[in-house]
Amino acid sequence: MTISTANKQLDKTTALILAAGQGTRMQSETSKVLHEIAGRPLIYYSIRAALDAGCKDVVVVVGHAKEQVARYVVEMFGEQVRMAVQSIQKGTGDAAAAGLAAVDGDNKNIVVFYGDAPLIVADNIRAVTLALEAAPSSLHLATCTLDDPTGYGRIIRNSTSSIVAIREQRDLRSSEEANIREINPGIYAASLEFFRAALASLKPTNAQGELYLTDIVTFAVANHQPVVSISLPTDVLLGVNDRVQLADAEGKMFSRIANHWRRFGATISTGAMIDDAVRIGRDCVIGPGVILRGETVIGSQVRIDVGCVVTNTKIGDASLLKPYTVIGNSIVDKYAQLGPFSHIRPDTNIGEGAHIGNFVETKKTTMGAGSKANHLAYLGDGIVGERTNIGAGTIFCNYDGTRKHLTTIESDVFIGSDSQIVAPVRIGAGAYVATGTTVVKDVPADALAIGRVRQENKEGYAERIRQRNRSAKGSSGAQGQ
């Protein structure tokens, strides 16, 4: 799932992607095409399909919330994509006309599609565009056949099966038309010359009073230009108009992404949710309910068990994430083991073979190779060397109420359970910190730091306490427990 532009065949084709609409049915302050599925905005998928198809010139028509949409497109795709502006949203035909104004004059072929159809892939664009190359004077469009065509433009054919029109849901003229299951997924290809003439001819004579891109079909028919349909599989079709369709599209995208990595040799449970930008190596096992987000890279032979959430993190080969580990913006080297229930916060660096166990929280901390913190600890702002053992209940006291301070623990150190390490402080290589110590000053290499109160045993004292408690209870008349 990478962006590749290496396809010479569509060098002379401009892809025009319409993304200026408001998306009223989303009920949102955000532009529809910036709503995300599988970790990327809808518009990303349309642009990538165009680039992957090999279109050298890609123009995105922006309008509603154009600053936000344009900012995203520029950040993500840089100079690979140009922008055109449709200032007033007067319909898809008007949007396409706004886009035409920006088309590279050298390009003679145009393919137009929508920014709200994220399941369309490069092959679909290529199918329609290559058909155009074979028959340059025709209008080419994709069609799909659905069990439930509700909401889509219907493909109207005459008695000889030629396409004569596309009729929008709101403009259907009869129940026969409503029952037509062949619909318009919205990919059109023709010559620049054809689009110029066809778009100039559009009239807003429809239920919405808009200029419909779909009416270029009627123009072609009136001008005796053949209309060629290319039938596409139904799984590419899904125009996202509301949040129900957004969820549907995301579900389909997740299963498409999982299948992609399965084909590369990963075992992925159904129900795992893997973002589009994630990479997964061979022989990984991804358990149920696992969520892999953002720019996460999983090496090979990694096992990620039930319910882990991994965000923007690199996991090295043969590492193991036990159930319900949450990790973000961090790096894990090979053979490491995390979890169950570890919370690895940003800028953590887990070394080769290191172990982080249950209820251990880390932040901005480096754990050297082979070091372990197996139970119940907070390791914030720390540098830990190799083969160091951090006992249960250890806390790096990194915050003085104003600033964060660094804890440095060198290699081969043993930190006894329930120790507080008050930063800034350094514990030298090979040192021991006795259980229950509050470390407030540096510990030299190979020293023992012990800072707890000496234990005293008072023989028989327990019975005296019990008697005192009993008499206190009697005199106050307190209720038994």
213 is a site residue for ligand UD1 (CB under 6 A):
yes
Measure the CA–CA gap between 117 and 396, rounded to whole angstroms: 49
Residue found under tokens 């327990």:
462
- 22: helix, strand or coil: coil
Residue 258: enclosing H or E segment and its boundaries?
Answer: helix 243-263
375 is catalytic: yes
Residue 375: enclosing H or E segment and its boundaries?
Answer: strand 372-384
- Return all residues near 111 (Cβ < 8 A) that are at least 6 apart: 13, 14, 15, 16, 50, 53, 55, 125, 128, 129, 132, 187, 188, 189
95 is a site residue for ligand UD1 (CB under 6 A):
yes
How far CA 127 is from CA of 10, 229, 364, in Å, comes to 11, 10, 49
210 is a site residue for Ca ion (CB under 5 A):
no
166 is a site residue for ligand UD1 (CB under 6 A):
yes
Min. distance of Cβ 149 from ligand UD1 in angstroms?
9
Min. distance of Cβ 224 from ligand UD1 in angstroms?
23
Residues from 73 through 132 that contact Ca ion (CB under 5 A): 116
Strands 343-344 and 154-157: unpaired
In this complex, which beta carbon is closest to ligand UD1, that of residue 186 or of residue 281?
186
In this complex, which beta carbon is closest to ligand UD1, that of residue 186 or of residue 328?
186
| Number of residues counted as binding Ca ion (CB under 5 A) | 3
Residue found under tokens 């206190």:
472
Binding map of Ca ion across residues 234-253, x = CB under 5 A, - = no contact: -----x-x------------
Catalytic residue among 35, 140, 224, 375: 375
- DSSP assignment of 257-288: HHHHHHHTT-EE-TT-EE-TT-EE-TT-EE-T
Taking contact as CB under 6 A, which single stretch among the options 47-55, 71-79, 112-120, 187-195 is the one that binds ligand UD1? Answer: 112-120
Give the angle subtended at the CA of 100 by the CAs of 141 and 33, to the nearest 5°. 70
Q: Which residue is nearest to Ca ion (CB)?
A: 239
Min. distance of Cβ 109 from Ca ion in angstroms?
24
Q: Which of 39, 153, 281, 428 binds ligand UD1 (CB under 6 A)?
A: 153
In this complex, which beta carbon is closest to ligand UD1, that of residue 168 or of residue 410?
168
Give the angle subtended at the CA of 332 by the CAs of 326 and 334, to the nearest 5°. 130
91 is a site residue for ligand UD1 (CB under 6 A):
yes
Structure tokens at 318: 């043969």
Using CB under 5 A, list all residues that contact Ca ion.
Answer: 116, 239, 241
Residues with a catalytic annotation lie at: 375
Using CB under 6 A, list all residues that contact ligand UD1.
Answer: 18-21, 61, 63, 86, 89-92, 94-95, 114-117, 152-153, 166, 168, 183-186, 212-214, 239, 241
